[in-house]
A and B are shown apart, each in its own frame.
Chain A
């Protein structure tokens, strides 16, 4: 099944709200939705809510053999799964167009711009390495998948610990206790994606559109900027028609958003580290059931 098609009245309603710079959830055209970041009990798990979009990312390091074309480095694999939790119209094993777009965008930004030090994941040249596997679970889908997905993946990578290994002439030893023996994964920079919806006829640009607003717009452009003011990737969905100077304005908006998101992410990581060090028990993810107090029952 697919999403419900956008009716003409709904489309005109959204376009009128774009023209009047006042969206239906009380935002202007250049405002983002609120987001929150939560880290799990296991290392390398990160849960991000952006408005009503909920994404869980998990990073796992496992022992593997090296690839043929790159003998002295590990490799990154990325998988996206969307279950039936968020929508009754979702088919279990099929990636729809928007989720496939999200996977392409995130995979390019993480893999091609040297976000993670994959050379240090090699144990023996041409024989064994550590494989970095990133699983992204889309729990609820209300638009802004690339934004929330990039925050979740970067948070999971920064939260991840590499297991300590020891190499001798005969064999390799890999120790299991991550917190005692492991070291953090080397992350060079943090690219954060920002989605801009474009309405080509009027030249209106909308920041962080929801899934219904995406249907009323002509196309989207996703700009990934890292915390060192570098443009890491530009991904285009459907048709765009934009000026070069307008593109500069969009890059500046994405740059400001990246600084804010990086600050929040670093504060959350520091808080999680101090909680673990001082022995405070880390809340598991099912405690998020407290958030909506009307529908929950906590004994």
Chain B
């Protein structure tokens, strides 16, 4: 059958997407943040496959984070990666944000699958996964209340550093991953590793909230670029 490549994507009455482009994923993004590289795919909203996890008024988010064996310098075996502690914490972090960020009332009794493959992990993997997932959800045309902007802040040698890499993470450096709303002062998720003083912690929160507007500029520019080139919306700025 002929495929009309210029046809716009529409939502049916049930909220499911239908378009003529033969692609597997409804939204996908290839994200590279420094040397950290990952792929993110979003499937759905579709019917719930696991009926026990179906919710009456909300969408069920199935987030699977998979770090490939060659992603770190020490090779990890493949059968242990699904039960790894780090991947579970990343998927739990993503779920705690997107359950409020995604407008879930539109897709009751449905399921949205988010699959993230980490190809190369060079530090700040949680922030990269969050930013990539938000862009992927935007490319899948899933409505969100705000853009979750994630930034990683560290404290090393009496100075605040931003977006740590793997060598900086192996040191005994306090790390703080903060997700804000649209790069503003409202914090919607916090994850902290190692320990630091309370004064340093306060300054790190303020520093992260201040610097997350840079990430928000990049994220909104990426989403707007995708909207202009692929969906065909006109630029209003």
Chain A interfacial positions (CB closer than 8 Å to B): 112-113, 191, 219, 221, 225-226, 229-234, 236, 238-244, 247-248, 251-252, 255
A244 touches B195 (CB 8 A): no
A234 touches B190 (CB 8 A): yes
B205 touches A248 (CB 8 A): yes
Interface residues of B in 62-113 (CB under 8 A from A): 96-97, 99-100
Which secondary structure characterizes the binding site on chain A? mixed
B55 in contact (CB, < 8 A) = no
Assess A230 versus B195: contact at CB under 8 Å? Given A241-B187, A241-B188. yes
| Among B11-19, B20-28, B196-204, the stretch in contact with A | B196-204
Among all A-B residue pairs, the 5 with the closest Cβ atoms: A244-B205, A232-B195, A239-B100, A234-B192, A248-B202
Complex formed: what's the CA distance from A219 to B189 in Å? Answer: 11
Closest chain-B Cβ to A250's Cβ sits at a distance in Å of 11
Q: What would be 21 A-B contacts, judged by CB atoms less than 8 Å apart?
A: A191-B195, A219-B96, A229-B197, A230-B197, A230-B198, A231-B201, A233-B195, A234-B190, A240-B189, A240-B190, A241-B100, A241-B181, A241-B187, A242-B187, A244-B187, A244-B205, A244-B209, A247-B187, A247-B202, A248-B202, A251-B198
B198 touches A225 (CB 8 A): yes
Complex formed: what's the CA distance from A238 to B58 in Å? Answer: 14
Q: Chain B residues near A112: list those with CB within 8 A.
A: 193-194
Q: A226-B195, A233-B195 are in contact. List 14 more A-B contacts (CB 8 A).
A: A230-B198, A231-B197, A236-B96, A236-B190, A236-B191, A240-B187, A241-B100, A241-B186, A243-B185, A244-B187, A244-B202, A244-B206, A248-B205, A251-B202
Q: Which chain B residue lies CB-closest to A219?
A: B96
Q: Chain B residues near A229: list those with CB within 8 A.
A: 197-198
A252 touches B198 (CB 8 A): yes
Assess A231 versus B192: contact at CB under 8 Å? Given A239-B96, A248-B205, A255-B198. yes
Q: Which chain B residue lies CB-closest to A239?
A: B100
Which of A221, A225, A233, A240 is the most central at the interface, judged by chain B CB atoms within 10 Å of its CB? A240
Q: Chain B residues near A242: list those with CB within 8 A.
A: 186-187
Closest chain-A Cβ to B107's Cβ sits at a distance in Å of 18
Which secondary structure characterizes the binding site on chain B? mixed
Complex formed: what's the CA distance from A252 to B205 in Å? Answer: 14
Complex formed: what's the CA distance from A167 to B189 in Å? Answer: 49
Q: Chain B residues near A247: list those with CB within 8 A.
A: 187, 190, 202, 205
Chain B interfacial positions (CB closer than 8 Å to A): 96-97, 99-100, 181, 185-198, 201-202, 205-206, 208-209
Complex formed: what's the CA distance from A236 to B89 in Å? Answer: 11
A243 touches B96 (CB 8 A): no
Complex formed: what's the CA distance from A113 to B198 in Å? Answer: 15
Complex formed: what's the CA distance from A113 to B195 in Å? Answer: 6
Complex formed: what's the CA distance from A128 to B4 in Å? Answer: 69
Q: Chain A residues near B193: list those with CB within 8 A.
A: 112
Pick from A113, A230, A243, A251: contact of B187, CB below 8 A: A243
Closest chain-B Cβ to A99's Cβ sits at a distance in Å of 15
Q: Which chain A residue lies CB-closest to B97?
A: A239
Which of B97, B193, B205 is the most central at the interface, judged by chain A CB atoms within 10 Å of its CB? B205
Q: Chain B residues near A232: list those with CB within 8 A.
A: 195
Q: Chain B residues near A230: list those with CB within 8 A.
A: 195-198
Q: Chain A residues near B96: list those with CB within 8 A.
A: 219, 236, 238-239
Q: Chain A residues near B205: list those with CB within 8 A.
A: 244, 247-248
Q: Which chain B residue lies CB-closest to A189?
A: B195
Q: Which chain B residue lies CB-closest to A115?
A: B195
Closest chain-A Cβ to B98's Cβ sits at a distance in Å of 10
Complex formed: what's the CA distance from A281 to B195 in Å? Answer: 40
Q: Chain A residues near B99: list those with CB within 8 A.
A: 239
Q: Chain A residues near B190: list those with CB within 8 A.
A: 221, 234, 236, 240, 247
Complex formed: what's the CA distance from A221 to B205 in Å? Answer: 15
Closest chain-A Cβ to B119's Cβ sits at a distance in Å of 24
Q: Chain A residues near B208: list those with CB within 8 A.
A: 244
Q: Which chain A residue lies CB-closest to B190?
A: A234
Closest chain-A Cβ to B233's Cβ sits at a distance in Å of 30
Pick from B97, B196, B209: contact of A231, CB below 8 A: B196
Assess A239 versus B209: contact at CB under 8 Å? Given A226-B195, A231-B195, A231-B201. no
Complex formed: what's the CA distance from A3 to B19 in Å? Answer: 44
Which of A113, A247, A252 is the most central at the interface, judged by chain B CB atoms within 10 Å of its CB? A247
Complex formed: what's the CA distance from A288 to B96 in Å? Answer: 40
